[in-house]
Amino acid sequence: MRDQNLIYDNLVSELRRGTLVLSVLALLRQPQYGYSLIAGLEAFGITIEAGTLYPLLRRLEKQGLLSSEWDVDQARPRRYYALNETGQQTLATLSAEWQRMNAALDQLIQTP
């Protein structure tokens, strides 16, 4: 049973990993800083560690999907991330692909 639980946990982790980019892009329609992203994802039942989020944000920015700027007006400086135009287009494309895949998987799962 212990091995089965480990297999299940690993499979769930793989499923979640595949949805993180789309989830983060969706939240970044409004500017967010790291902790607000973590809390926002958590509010939707999506858990992400800071050690996973920050490298993902750097990668998405390097890929040209995000812009970022520092807000130093508060007591603690924060780096805010937001979708740029390319990121908005990518979010729309990935969302459409997600809908297509989700519909196909729903049919596949429901088929006896």
The tens digit of pLDDT for each residue in 12-54 reads: 888 888 899 999 999 999 999 999 999 999 999 999 999 999 9
- Cα dihedral 48, 21, 3, 102 in deg (nearest 10): 130
The structure tokens listed for 20 are 């993180």
In angstroms, the CA 46 to CA 27 distance is: 12
Instruction: Name the nearest CA neighbour of 80 among 70, 66, 93.
Output: 70
Provide the mean pLDDT of the chain.
Answer: 94
In angstroms, the CA 28 to CA 36 distance is: 10
pLDDT at 106 over 80: yes
Q: What is the pTM assigned to this prediction?
A: 0.88
9 against 86, higher pLDDT = 86
